[in-house]
A and B are shown apart, each in its own frame.
Chain A
């Protein structure tokens, strides 16, 4: 699949500069992430991401600039800075028009923007009551809530595409998706599928979805709008290319895998004949000037995380191959570490290599007896508090007794070391050899299905 070297279609702003100096060294990388807690094996980059000190320093400079003379900053600097960031992103993702790129806080905000528009369409009668919105069974928890808030409440019908896990091939997903769309069309005589919400990389369990193929199916089946929730994608999956993927809306967080500070995301909205009006829910002075301009001023706040994208580009371009090189090495390493763990524990991976990007699902030994979501959360807490390992655990329902019922989602980012994964391997081995089961853990009061 797509981890081979690809032609870099991106333009000047993200082109890797000719390196007359050698690429960033190991020691420099460790220094860039020296603020990370050294006692923790940090295997959960997928949840909260990371930000190198050089980017944090750039952000700090901007914050200070604002504090020093805020009026001057607002009038003379802010707008330019956001425009610069948007221009870089446009080239990174191969959008055609700058207007198509807006910067928002996070994928949750982007989801609200797309779904709010759908909600209006229901209210205005553009969509009929009973028209459907399709989403994947493994759509992110808060996206499901947003669909409830903005679609179900407005009279829309929600269709979930069932997905199997462990998954063996993309064909399984493609088949289920096509089947769900056909079923939707046959169920209601006049109902249409107005919107499909498709993850590029699901969160839990994590797998890379063949979005390009699914978008094609949507077009064939007459789905009106396609929104790709790509929260993890940029800096993680290959081929984040708006022309290739072909969706109407695409949103990705930049603080997960693209080294931005919390928090910043971009939302892409294709300019076409059928373009709909998107609006930021926080309405301010720039209302009706287009989503990108609206999003650039949603009241007074700290916009510094949106302004450091140039500094982030400088950082990634210190690596051999730039962001593409980083993605490839992350993938190779996470797969290697995943295989090392499954061999040590006698389990299996939840997804094939080509359906993992910088994260992979690793089966945990059945003897741990992870029986429900609560066990998964408690085990995660136990690993953090007693072993200094940070890794999210997924409970897979429906397995037989004695089978793998829990998976760890391990991430690999540039700051990770092999020792991090050995630490995890050894922690689980110890638990197993001690006869530990999740039943021994008390109910966590910090229960949350946040990944």
Chain B
């Protein structure tokens, strides 16, 4: 943890404007640097792990709690099932409910991941197309950079039964929320051509690649004005990254993974469904079918439910930091922006979005001399950085599009970006290493297509 974040010895402040979770115990000190290092000592040493966004991270104390639950099951599984599991899941859901400002715990279900939530929402849409309740001209609207798994799910459940999809281009690099809102409105217009209705809008809260924070509240307001039936916010990265207030956001469905930015083990996500939503059920039908999504999701057949049970321990963990989860989010954001700026200045490039449109991740332009000219080039660079420099960072290729102002550096068009993350375990050295590795490549005169393939 970076030095200017440690606040050892400070008395814990009781004024926490944004905290909605359970009252925190009075701490006499916050987590120290060495305690923090210990919590993540299972991470591979020597690796600059700047890709928290993909697979997240889980501290030792939460893993220990998970082990405890697993052992409880192994010792006496019947007793675990009858006497511990249900209440454990309820406890976790109650904490989530407070964290996201939902009114009723019944609106909160725990599922494996955002991909599962997408299947649940899209199956419901698919059933309506198949039954004829929706007609062929009706559409589902998404961003073009929606997560690939979500797009596949749309193919499986919507286009296969005659529904159509409208893709909204996400301007990237992006300069303001207005640019996104304008594109979205145009997309909605296209969706209503031929008299069709827009039945579902899928809006990322934070897109994956390229990563940008989307102005969801504004977009949902537009959706309601334009009579879009339902809105599903794919907040896969959101919780633990930025504030999530489901009442304020106003979506019909909201999902976020807990294992990305909220320190849970793989894998668990929460899914919020507004009260007026009907006709959703978990695709894996088991004993609790028909009792509501929350009950159904709490038993999808025999499996290891331990990731769903550790949310109370996660809360204890984040409350060891100054400001709790809000403090963590604030510091992650400040650091990732600071590191992003440091890198872009060292490389003479740009940021993919202004600081206020990112949370704990930011896109940093790669020097054009590296010639990232394809997805394949991006993968080669990622592989090269992992194997030769022990740096873990995803690389994004942004193709040139006609008619758009493409950013340039002194040598040409910027077509490649790295998505850097900052989580509590990161140090400045992680980003310095990336800075140096790229500079070294430039000095060696290497381009991506020359790099070894995996």
Contact = CB atoms under 8 A, between A and B. Distances in A.
A binds B: yes
Interface of A: 35-37, 40, 42, 44, 47-51, 56, 64, 66-72, 74-75, 105-109, 111-112, 115-116, 123, 141-142, 145-146, 148-150, 253, 255, 261-263, 279, 281-285, 287-288, 298-302, 305, 381, 384, 390, 446, 448-450
Interface stretch (B74-82, B241-249, B328-336): B74-82
A263 B287 contact: no
B286 A287 contact: no
B156 A279 contact: yes
A142 B82 contact: no
A299 B42 contact: no
A289 to B, nearest CB: 10
Contacts, number: 183
Interface string B283-323: 11111011000000000111110010000000000000000
Nearest to A380: B78
B112 A71 contact: no
A112 B122 CA distance: 16
A147 to B, nearest CB: 9
A390 B78 contact: yes
B303 A142 contact: no
A106 B115 contact: no
Given A48-B78, A262-B303, A263-B302, A66 B266 contact: yes
A142 B54 contact: no
A450 B287 contact: yes
Contact of A67 (B63, B81, B304): B63
B286 A145 contact: yes
B149 interface: yes
Contacts of B78: 44, 47-48, 384, 390
Contacts of A390: 76, 78-79
Contacts of A75: 454
29 contacts: A48-B77, A48-B78, A51-B74, A66-B55, A67-B57, A69-B44, A70-B54, A105-B284, A105-B301, A106-B301, A106-B302, A108-B286, A108-B301, A142-B285, A145-B289, A146-B285, A150-B285, A262-B304, A282-B283, A283-B157, A285-B149, A287-B152, A287-B155, A299-B114, A299-B115, A300-B55, A300-B259, A381-B82, A390-B76
B149 A284 contact: yes
Interface in B359-414: 386, 392
A158 B265 CA distance: 41
Interface residues of B, number: 63
B200 to A, nearest CB: 15
A35 B71 contact: yes
Q: 3 nearest interchain CB pairs?
A: A108-B301, A299-B115, A70-B55
Given A69-B392, A72-B386, A145-B286, A35 B74 contact: yes
Contacts of A150: 285
A37 B73 CA distance: 10
A51 B70 CA distance: 12
A420 B73 CA distance: 20
Contact of B289 (A37, A149, A287, A300): A149
Given A40-B76, A68-B44, A285-B148, A302 B266 contact: yes
Given A105-B301, A108-B301, A300-B259, A36 B75 contact: yes
B116 A145 contact: no
Given A69-B44, A75-B454, A263-B302, A299 B267 contact: yes
B115 A284 contact: yes
Nearest to B285: A146
Contact of B301 (A74, A142, A302, A448): A142
B74 A36 contact: yes
B149 A141 contact: no
